[in-house]
Amino acid sequence: MTTEKLTSLLQRRARLDEQIAAARRAESESARKADARRKIVVGAALLSAARQDPRLRKLLVETLGRVLGERDLALFATGDPGAGDLVLGTVGSAALGPIEGAAEGGWIESGHAG
């Protein structure tokens, strides 16, 4: 095999390696976006259902209180303009909004409505 032929094949191989790497990156990015979208859809469905069902709301607030850190809980704080209608009740030091069916101005606090 001539040096020219070998050089040509190595260059072709390098181009193919670049294309393979780009395809893998695109596939990985697509999978990451699909995963993020699934999480958003599930979260939106849970929040919507929790607004209608006080038992589910209580369970969701208790679960969030157990598994989320203060930084993540702060995303649901009623004073946070970005929280919008995502507020649910109170967990820890982060206010998560009033619970439907609780006494006027009632909140979920430590898993209890009232």
Out of 49-53, 56-60, 90-94, pick the least confident: 90-94
Instruction: Report residue 31 CA to chain centroid gap.
Output: 15
Residue 110 pLDDT > 90, yes or no?
A: no
HSE, CB side, 13 Å, CA atoms: give it for residue 85.
5
Tell me which residue has tokens 């702060």.
74
Q: Report which of 77, 84, 86, 100 is spatially closest to residue 46, judged by C-alpha positions.
A: 86
Report pLDDT for 71. Answer: 86
Alpha-carbon span 112 to 92, nearest angstrom: 12
Report pLDDT for 82. Answer: 54
Which sequence spans correspond to the domains of the chain?
1-52, 54-114
Residue 20 pLDDT > 90, yes or no?
A: yes
Angle ∠(67,30,32) on CA atoms, nearest 5: 15
Report pLDDT for 2. Answer: 92
